[in-house]
Amino acid sequence: MVIGKQKAVFINEMRDLLEHQRLAVLSTHDQGVPHASLVAFCAGEDLTWIAFATLRSTRKYSNLKAEPRAALLIDSRTNRESDFRTARALTAKGCVEEAGEGDLLRIIPLYLSKHPQLEDFVKSPSCALMVMRVESYDLVERFQNVMEVCVTP
């Protein structure tokens, strides 16, 4: 089953990006005014959610409160020419909400195992842990090859 094998390859590539990249570009908007920001993230093993932390005073936080739909871009660029053929980019799209009690207990240890230096930041009362429930991913590789992966609820 060629397709089955390819699916496994794509999913491994996605997992690899989500595990090894530290930062993602978060894209939000405020009544049509776009905004992009870097966030430190971690992702669920089943690839259905991605979490990041932000201060409640930030523009991204207020944007997400008003419009939870957002996109996250995670990529393996190295700022070299070879990026055009070797870099991969994963765009995750979905709705973002602040983590509830249960999520906090489950996600914070994962988040801190990836970003231990952010312990003070993430545990500060002024900081919110946000979780994107991913609806779909676009995986781009070899410059133009794009696969869409839909996440069923």
Partner 1 sequence: MRWIVPLDEIKDEDLPRVGGKCIALFQLARRGFNVPAACCVPVTAYDHYIDGCGLRERILMELSRKDLKEMRWEEIWDASLRIRNLFLRGPAIGEVFPEIRAFLEDRFPETPVVVRSSSPEEDSRESSFAGIHESFVNVRGVDSIERHVKLVWASLWSDSAILYRQELHLDPALSAMAVIVQELIQGERSGVVFSRSPNRSHEGVLEAVYGLNQGLVDGVVQPDRWVFDRETLRVVSHSPAPRDHFLTVNPEGVRTAPAPPRMKRWPPLKKKEVCRLASLSLKSEKVFGMPQDMEWTIAMGRLWILQSRPITSIGGTDDRDKRRWYLSLKRSFENLKQLRNRIESELIPGMIADAVKLGDVNLEHLNDRQLCEEIFRRSDVEKKWAAVYWEEFIPFAHGMRLFGQVYNDVMRPDDPYEFVALLAGSSLESVRRNEMLEAMASMVRQDEGLRRKLTMGRHLDAGEAFLRLIDGFIGEFGDLSCPVTGAVQCDQGPEALVRMVLELAEGPSPSKRIPQRDVEQLEEAFLSRFPGERRREAVELLDLARASYRLRDDDNIHLGRIEARKLAAVSEANRRINRKGRLDVPPDLQERLAAFLAADGELSTLRSHGNGGVPGERLQLKPRQLVGQPAGPGICRGAARVIRETADLVRFKKGEVLVCDAVDPNMTFVVPLASGIVERRGGMLIHGAIIAREYGLPCVTGVPDVIRWVCTGDSLTVDGYLGIVTVGAAHSS
Binding site for partner 1 (CB under 8 A): 1-4, 6-7, 10-11, 46-48, 81-82, 84-86, 136, 138, 140, 142-152
Q: In the 8-state DSSP scheme, what is residue 21?
A: -
What is the 3-state secondary structure of 84-135? HHHCCEEEEEEEEEECCHHHHHHHHHHHHHHCHHHHHHHHCCCEEEEEEEEE
Q: Taking the complex as a whole, how short is the minimal distance between the CB of residue 18 and partner 1, in angstroms?
A: 13
Indicate the residue among 53 and 134 with the shorter CB distance to partner 1. 134
Q: Which residues pair with 29 in a beta bridge?
A: 34
Tell me whether residue 32 or residue 125 sits nearer to partner 1 (CB atom): 32
Work out how close the CB of 118 gets to partner 1 at its nearest, in angstroms, rounded to a whole number.
28
Residue with Cβ nearer partner 1 (22 or 84): 84
Nearest Cα to 143, choosing from 85, 57, 79? 85
CB of residue 16 vs partner 1: minimum separation in angstroms? 15
